[in-house]
Amino acid sequence: MVEHDLLEVCAIEQMSDLSAWGWDAYHKEMESGGDTIMLVARTDLAFHQNEIAGFIVARIIADEVHVNNVAVRPDFRGQRLGSTLLRRALEQGRLKGANVARLEVRAGNQAAQRLYERCGFEVDGRRKNYYREPTEDALLMSSRLTSAIR
């Protein structure tokens, strides 16, 4: 992900019911140094003109990868883009020395939970009323990053 991508990233964020970071927050994250992992998936179909189909934002804190946001444009969901973005981000984290990945997810977000489970995450906690608008519990999920991620 580069600065030029951020308008498209924010548009996908808005289509995806995520807690909105917005342009400034993504830009700040991008400028913040080497411990951030920000990737986009691009369409390669001629009629889509190489648009961004999805993105992931994660950060390495000590020996952990924290996955903050992952989203795929609604018309490109179900084609493994989410899984590919997540696996690439985890692999980058592992290569930079992280040995565990963590994230929070809305308890009602089944699609995201399936994605995370497919990529090796397990639920290991719950935070009551963690999210707002609407109020909802967060499930805490983690995955050990012990060997090359495929």
Ligand X SMILES: CC(C)(COP(=O)(O)OP(=O)(O)OC[C@H]1O[C@@H](n2cnc3c(N)ncnc32)[C@H](O)[C@@H]1OP(=O)(O)O)[C@@H](O)C(=O)NCCC(=O)NCCS
Catalytic site residues? Answer: 104, 116
Single out the residue of 15, 136, 33 nearest to residue 69, CA to CA.
15
Q: Quick one: 97 or 139, whose CB is closer to ligand X? A: 139
Closest contact distance (angstroms) between CB of 115 and ligand X is 4
Closest contact distance (angstroms) between CB of 7 and ligand X is 18
Q: Quick one: 60 or 105, whose CB is closer to ligand X? A: 105
* CA distance linking residue 10 with residue 13, whole number of Å: 5
Chain-centre distance for alpha carbon 82: 8
- Contact residues: ligand X, CB under 6 A: 16, 18, 69-72, 77-83, 105, 109-112, 114-115, 118
What is the radius of gyration, based on Cα positions, of the chain? 15
Q: Quick one: 6 or 138, whose CB is closer to ligand X? A: 138
> Is residue 1 within 8 Å of 31, Cβ to Cβ?
no
